[in-house]
Amino acid sequence: MSATLRAEMFSKYYFNCPLIHIEGKMYPVQTRFLEDVLEKLRFFNFTDNNLQQRNLPKWKRHTKKFKNQEKTNYEFIEFIEPHIRAMKNHYSRQVLEVLKNPESEKINLDLIEALIFNISENEAPGAILVFLTGYDLISKLHTQLKKSRHYIDYKYQIYPLHSMMPGIDQKNIFRLPPNGVRKIILSTNIAETSITIDDVVYVIDSGKL
């Protein structure tokens, strides 16, 4: 299967073998962006860059690394300002302030944890698929979720999913959990490009490759 395959050419190569067209099934999708999540969870726990810079020793403010970071922050704020102005009447002041902080663009495991448990406690049944950038972050979030005060062993099944994972362990991911148990899959983009998990209803995308 391929979205870009030239089926007729492929058929011709195989001595004009027949083509069979199978209609796909479409599902309704609701999209929520970072600002929606911040507003819903009232999550504003991001590092304050301005405070960090004020607390830096004076000599560090003259280093090339600091000046480059300052330039990057300025460019980010300049880029995001028109978007912030357009959202002014739709989100709280706290959310808009967070969005102006370059730290909001980084993967925040505390925010992902809060969102996972919020979905688990307030939304309809269905597996949660979380896209992360690699094994290190998957491992960190896995450990963090297990240690969370919200985690109850008999209410959750948490599975890491990445290319280094043995095939036997991957099979467990496709099993439907018992009633009342929420399945949570922490994955790289292998879950987008290589496999399909039928019972996924919620997707949390960190927005990074």
Condensed to tens digits (0 to 9), the pLDDT of residues 73-82 reads 788 888 899 9
Assigned domain for 160 exists? yes
Give one DSSP letter per residue of 23-37, joined into a string.
Answer: -----------HHHH
Assigned domain for 145 exists? yes
The radius of gyration of the chain from alpha carbons, rounded to an integer in Å, stands at: 22
Q: Domain check: are 98 and 119 in the same one?
A: no
**Residue 182: how many other CB atoms lie within 10 Å:** 20
Q: Domain check: are 139 and 152 in the same one?
A: yes
Q: Domain check: are 99 and 120 in the same one?
A: no
Q: What is the CATH number of the domain that holds 181?
A: 3.40.50.300
Q: Which domain holds residue 129?
A: 107-205
Span 65-108, pLDDT tens digits = 656 767 777 888 888 999 999 999 999 999 999 998 888 888 99
Q: Domain check: are 134 and 196 in the same one?
A: yes
User: Of all helices (H) and strands (E), which one includes residue 80?
Assistant: helix 64-86
- What is the four-CA torsion angle of 64, 68, 71, 72, rounded to 10 degrees? -170
pTM: 0.79
Mean pLDDT across the chain: 86
Span 32-50, pLDDT tens digits = 999 999 999 999 887 655 5
Task: Give the per-residue pLDDT at 144.
Answer: 97
What gap in Å lies between CA 18 and CA 144, rounded to an integer?
52
Q: Is the pLDDT of residue 203 over 80?
A: yes
Specify which residues 128 forms β-bridges with.
Answer: 184, 202
Assigned domain for 9 exists? no
Number of domains making up the chain: 2
Q: Residue 57 carries which side chain, given as an amino acid letter?
A: P
Assigned domain for 28 exists? no
Q: Domain check: are 100 and 116 in the same one?
A: no
Q: Domain check: are 70 and 114 in the same one?
A: no
Q: Domain check: are 143 and 186 in the same one?
A: yes
